Structure 1
Amino acid sequence: MKYKRILLKLSGEALMGSQSHGIDPERLDQYATEIQRASETGIQIAIVIGGGNIFRGVQAEKAGIDRVQGDHMGMLATLINAMALQSALENKGLKTRLMSGLKIDEVAEQFIRRRAVRHLEKGRVVIFGAGIGNPYFTTDSTASLRAIETESEVVLKGTRVDGVYDMDPEKNEDATRYETLSFGDALQKGLSIMDMTAFTLCKENKLPIIVFDMNKPGNLQKVIQGDNVGTLIS
């Protein structure tokens, strides 16, 4: 394998599958199978998953909810998804640990960097829920920060498109996919890869990002093998 330790970032919306909200059992099982196959290669896997299929903090203000309160609601939504993914992985026979940015001892361990690294070294799949525990930070920022803290070699951002394009490929047939990009080029072109905080963290710490289609079976395996899948930003 090209990498020894990775951080996989999944969106909450991806768990909806063909549904309008919530968690699609088939999509959840598909993701668990992909992660299982990757884990069986011996690679160490950390995961951050969003909560947009249940609740997004930025929606709170539209509903008259205080932004900080709304962000905490969003953090709890990520924990629901993380718990579902943990259960799906354990049904596949994987050893897992769920670590939370919020203190919620009955559900998850509180995040401690050295403990997280030790879990990874023991071959456990570590899922980070509840963001970093603070409002105004997205799960993209959580993924970048946790990847740096656990000394992961790359952030793999699993999406429903097969990389980064110069325009929205779902709306424009003429969209062109980039195979590689520098951080500087991505910023100059104004490409929406991650929010600025997350992107800057990766840039300053020389942490590469690969954006790829997680919904295509076998793609995760190809990425960790070093195959030319998706878009590499470095």
Structure 2
Amino acid sequence: MPLSAHLRWGGGGGNRDEFANNLALSLDELTGRCRELILELCAELLAAAGERARVAVSGPAVGLIDEVLDPQMRSFVLALSNDVYEDDHDWMASVATVLAGKAPTEWNDRDLAAVRARLPQRLAAFNRLRALHAERRAADGLPFEALRISVTDPSGAEEARLVGVAHDERSAVEPAVDDLLARITEAVGSPQRAHNAALAILAERLLAPAGAARTDADPPSAKIAEGVL
């Protein structure tokens, strides 16, 4: 730690005061960086989940607690559902602690790498559980608005996801999609081929977070609950 404060212990009173001040600054910097890191992980989690706020993740997690048997996955779902914190940092710190098996303040570089590797895997499993849960609700005749998309690639890897467009985003998203499809149609020759090409690319990207290897083989197939694309 003295090296991190850019000082050698000199034994004199002046050096001790300077050392103490620099040590305090170094500790403050480390604490601040730890907080920034947790918030970065929170942003990565929400981006991978396709959500803008943690309540969109923690809310569905509550309904899955009794459906998860695997101990590690159950701990992850419990941490996601535990939305009793005032800010995103404390919520994500709890989730990250479960992923690493230790508090973020105790991490080293290997722990951080392990969390970044496990997060997309656990989140992909969580998304599949959400999709299955929603499918069962739909089968039971309960209200259900989101679409369930399932994608399978030639190797058999599968990803299921609930998707939807927020009401305040639809007016911006639909024209952008229409413009994109029009440009693809010009390139491939027909609207149907344009839709198929766009869906294939999106399906590949949907599989990517789960770590599925993509090849130049046939494109993945995509199905949506309530209909087949």
TM-score greater than 0.5 by the shorter chain: no
Give the TM-score normalised by the residue count of structure 2: 0.28
**Bigger Rg, structure 1 or 2:** 2
Q: Which protein, 1 or 2, shows the higher relative CO under an 8 Å CA cutoff with sep ≥ 6?
A: 1
Q: Which has the higher strand share?
A: 1
Q: Which has the higher helix share?
A: 2
Give the TM-score normalised by the residue count of structure 1: 0.28
